[in-house]
Amino acid sequence: MEFKRKLPIPKEIKELYPLSDKGIKTRQECVATIKGILEGVDSRMLLLVGPCSADREDAVLDYLQRLKTLSEKVSDKIYIVPRLYTSKPRTSGNAYKGMLHRPDPSGEDDILKGIIAIRQMHLSAIEKIGFGCADEMLYPENHRFISDLLCYVTIGARSVDDQQHKLTASGLEIPVGLKNPMNGNLDALLQDILTVQNSHLFLYRNWEVESEGNPFAHGILRGYVDHTGESHCNCDASGLAFACRKMLDGGVKNPSLVVDCNHSNSGKDYLKQVDLARNICALRRKGEGGLRETIKGLMLESYIEDGNQEEHGAVYGKSITDACLGWEKTEKLVLELADMW
Check pLDDT > 90 for residue 231.
Answer: yes
- Of all residues in the chain, what percent carry a pLDDT higher than 70? 99
| Phi, psi torsion values for 171, nearest 5 degrees | -105, 5
CB 262 within 8 A of CB 308: no
Distance CA 327, CA 130 (A): 19
Half-sphere exposure of 284 (CA within 13 A, CB side): 26
- Which pLDDT belongs to residue 288? 86
- Which pLDDT belongs to residue 144? 97
Distance CA 304, CA 284 (A): 29
- Which pLDDT belongs to residue 95? 81
CB 317 within 8 A of CB 67: no
Residue (of 237, 300, 217, 295) closest to 263 by Cα position: 300
Residue (of 265, 267, 269, 264) closest to 325 by Cα position: 269
Question: Which of the four pLDDT bands, split at 50, 70 and 90, describes residue 89?
Answer: confident
CATH numbers and ranges of domains, the chain: 10-340 (3.20.20.70)
Residue 184, classed as helix, strand or coil, is coil
pTM exceeds 0.85, yes or no: yes
The pLDDT tens digits for 140-152 are 999 999 999 999 9
